[in-house]
Amino acid sequence: MQRSVLIRTFAAPRFTTGIAAWIAPNLTGRLIGLHEGRDQPFTTQLPGSRELTLAVAITDVASPRLQTRALQLGLLTDVLDVIAAVRGVRTRTLSSTGAIVAGGGAALFAGLGVAALRTAGQPAVTSG
């Protein structure tokens, strides 16, 4: 798969997740399995900010170094999120829905990040 397709495939759900966390933090929080509470909008918007930042950085075709670094940092973040989801399941502090949505989403992002990093020598943009 071409790098440009991987980048778009990777950036779209990251961007959507970040926007959803900011526009509708309570709903997004429920969807990813967070418990409702007074601070729940804030705790949903924190990872939303991260997702938006990473989405913008990985789509920066003007700076291949920034794009690669953002993919690397995103991969680290996603692996840590998978570990956190596993810990949440083991300690029963994360719902099954949360484990599937948040942990599964992080695993998907990690896989896309690895695939995008493996295509580092390919051009990030195609004309058309």
pTM: 0.82
Task: Answer for the pair 28, 41: CB distance below 8 angstroms, yes or no.
Answer: no
Taking CA atoms, 11 is separated from 1, 50, 58, 65, 112, in Å, by 15, 12, 7, 17, 10
Among residues 78, 83, 85, which one has the least CA distance to residue 99? Answer: 85
- List the domain boundaries for the chain: 3-118
Taking CA atoms, 45 is separated from 66, 84, 87, 112, in Å, by 24, 17, 21, 23
Among residues 32, 65, 59, which one has the least CA distance to residue 46? Answer: 32
Taking the CA atoms of 39, 44, 49 and 50 in sequence, report the sign of the dihedral they define: positive
Read off the pLDDT band of 127 (50, 70, 90): very low
Amino acid identity, residue 37? G
Read off the pLDDT band of 35 (50, 70, 90): confident
Terminal C-alpha separation, the chain: 17
* % the chain with pLDDT above 70: 92
For residue range 41-99, what is the model confidence (pLDDT) as tens digits? 888 899 899 999 999 999 887 888 999 999 999 999 999 999 999 999 999 988 888 88
